Amino acid sequence: MDGQLLAGKVALITGAASGIGASTAKLMAHHGARVALADVDLKGVAENAAAIAENGGQALAVEADVRDGQCVAEMVKRTVERFGRLDCCVNNAGIDGSASPLHEYTEENWRDVLEVNLTGVWLCLKHEISYMLEQGVTGSIVNTASAAGLVGLPLGVSGYVASKHGVVGLTRAAALEYVRQGIRVNAICPGAVRTPMLDDAITSGMTTEAELSSMQPIGRLAAPREVAEAAVWLCADASSFVTGQALAVDGGWTVQ
């Protein structure tokens, strides 16, 4: 993508301390957006915000836990106070949880994964959309689901798969509820992406890089920037007729 696709826009990205979120924030800044980076890892988002500023962009680092509605509301408020508006959001924060067969999957693990991956996205939507409606701002929101939100996985991650399917359904419902108010809501569904979370899964023995690469007809893992490019396009005016979609960025995984 060339040019300033997001010039004049303000973007909020959760889970922006590393991986897809960090790459998305930096790419959005490159395309002219002023960006708020939110994460429970304040050090991580502060470092990424500083890197954006060093490259001539404007960035705000916010410590935020998407499981906490009050915290999410404050995250949106701080973004608007700093930059004056909110045009784009990428609700990206997520965890994979501990891997185990479904019958051994603990209630605590289930709750943790659903609380971050699904309730967290719902809370972000709730407060982002509330602001957009109150201020009369049209906008675009992108939720990070997963290829595991479109198909199943035999890797002992039933909570993760359920949560990501939930994100896709939530995206479609929100898109229909707010399309007439000028708010677009879409999801991206990445396949296997080289991120710290995926590295942890490989290190733990949950899976291997070779296994994940073989699932994707393209034959390799994605780089975070390849997913970020999709999020930027969905936030840009170039995708103005696109809403309610679950865009697979998965090297062909889910079309097999």
What pLDDT digit, counting tens, does each position of 163-209 carry? Answer: 999 999 999 999 999 999 999 999 999 999 998 888 887 877 778 88
Instruction: Break the chain into its structural domains and give their ranges.
Output: 10-246
3-state secondary structure of 140: strand
**pLDDT tens figures, 99-118:** 999 999 999 999 999 999 99
Of the given ranges (46-50, 144-148, 177-181, 204-208), which has the lowest mean pLDDT?
204-208
What's the chain's average pLDDT?
95
Q: Categorize the per-residue pLDDT at 93 as very low, low, confident or very high, splitting at 50, 70 and 90.
A: very high
For the sheet containing 59-63, what is the strand order?
Answer: 59-63, 34-39, 10-14, 88-91, 139-144, 183-190, 246-249
Spatial CA neighbour of 146 closest among 22, 15, 246, 233: 246
Q: Categorize the per-residue pLDDT at 1 as very low, low, confident or very high, splitting at 50, 70 and 90.
A: very low
Q: Which CATH architecture has domain 10-246?
A: 3-Layer(aba) Sandwich (3.40)
The length of the chain, given as a count of residues: 256
Active site residues: 160
Q: Categorize the per-residue pLDDT at 68 as very low, low, confident or very high, splitting at 50, 70 and 90.
A: very high
**What is the rounded distance in angstroms from the CA atom of residue 237 to the CA atom of residue 111?**
37
Give pLDDT, residue 3.
67
pTM of the model: 0.95
**What is the rounded distance in angstroms from the CA atom of residue 25 to the CA atom of residue 151?**
28
Q: Residues 230, 1: contact at Cβ < 8 Å?
A: no
**What is the rounded distance in angstroms from the CA atom of residue 1 to the CA atom of residue 26?**
14
